[in-house]
Amino acid sequence: MGKDHHPAPFSHGQVADFQRDGFLGPVPILEMEEVLDLRDRVDYLFQNLDSIESELYEVEAAHMERPEEVVCHFLGGWRVDKRLRELVFDPRLTGAAAQLLEVSRLRFWHDQVFYKPAGHPGVVPWHQDYSYWTRTAPARHVTINILLDNADEDSGCLQFVPGSQEWGLLPPVGFDQPLEKIREGLLAGQEFLPRAVPVPAGSATIHHSHTLHGSGPNGSKGPRRALAFNYMCAETRVADDSEPLLRGAPHLSQGEFVAGELFPVVWKAP
Ligand SMILES: O=C(O)CCC(=O)C(=O)O
């Protein structure tokens, strides 16, 4: 895509692949100079989690308790870092998400950072994103996961189970659980045949909200850092208002649109 991005960047074939498999990638998104800048910014956030924690939506609690064991994962970096905030609105991301979701208006849900230091044993257990998002409905969400480092199986690149977006909703899995935890509850016919997707720095994978995905430990000599941007259909509503949608977000009642400053519309059909 590079700088000549188009609002609908994918070919019919790529859209068909996404619909069949539930994911697409690698997709080039960022220039290398942007990657270098973002590495510094993400390192800063990672190294200062204690002081910025209150500005974020969430930091993986098990990581804070056992940082040598559990992968580092936090939500809300866009509220702290200017460049992450700009990326939320970047047409290279929003055009891609809107096309794959087939929406005429796209809304931002939240961002995430996944940080695996060199040689770190932490994994991201197999999960479906929407299993953590049922407080928003309908399920029409998509994730763009951009790598800031070259990722392969050795450094714990993402893996996906093609077709699992059709399996219905599986239970949520804690990020401190074993990689294979979800497999305990799979049904006959839910064939678990994962595909690892190596991705160069600056490129992304994009996945459907119900596609099973996970990633192994980082056995490499360098960090494996990823930025995830989660988008949804602009008509998404609050399905459960018993708790704030995200920490610090203003209260929205059940049935209301998930809207407001924290959930901007980021793309509209021309
Ligand atoms: O980067 C990873 O290993 C996990 C990413 C993930 O779960 C996501 O982007 O939804």
Rounded Cα–Cα distance for residues 145 and 112 (Å) = 9
CA 268 to the chain's CA centroid:
21
In a domain, 144, yes or no: no
**Cβ proximity of 115 and 121 under 8 Å:** no
In a domain, 1, yes or no: no
In a domain, 98, yes or no: yes
Residue range(s) defining the domain that contains residue 238 = 7-20+28-138+151-268
- 237 burial type by CB count under 10 A (0-12 exposed, 13-18 middle, 19+ buried): middle
Gap from CA of 270 to ligand 1 centroid (Å): 31
Q: Specify the ligand 1 atom closest to the Cα of 213.
A: 7
Burial 65-80 (b: 16+ CB within 10 A, else e): eeeeebbbbbbbbbbb
Q: CATH number, domain at 104?
A: 2.60.120.620
What is the chain's pLDDT, residue by residue, as a tens digit (270 residues)?
A: 444 455 689 999 999 999 999 999 999 999 999 999 999 999 999 999 999 999 999 999 999 999 999 999 999 999 999 999 999 999 999 999 999 999 999 999 999 999 999 999 999 999 999 999 999 999 999 999 999 999 999 999 999 999 999 999 999 999 899 999 999 988 888 999 999 999 999 999 999 999 999 999 999 999 999 999 999 999 999 999 999 999 999 999 999 999 999 999 999 998
Q: Specify the ligand 1 atom closest to the Cα of 228.
A: 9
Q: 112-171 pLDDT, tens per residue?
A: 999 999 999 999 999 999 999 999 999 999 999 999 999 999 999 999 999 999 999 999
This prediction has a pTM of: 0.97
How far is CA 17 from each of CA 14, 126, 218, rounded to the nearest angstrom? 5, 21, 28
Gap from CA of 76 to ligand 1 centroid (Å): 15
**Cβ proximity of 118 and 180 under 8 Å:** no
CB atoms within 10 A of CB 200: 14
In a domain, 109, yes or no: yes
Rounded Cα–Cα distance for residues 228 and 25 (Å) = 14
Q: Specify the ligand 1 atom closest to the Cα of 112.
A: 9
State how many domains the chain has: 1
Radius of gyration over every alpha carbon of the chain, rounded to an integer in angstroms: 17
In a domain, 143, yes or no: no
Ligand 1 pocket at CB < 6 A: 114, 124, 129, 143, 145, 158, 213, 215, 226, 228
In a domain, 146, yes or no: no
Enumerate residues 6+ apart whose C-beta is below 8 A from 183.
126, 192
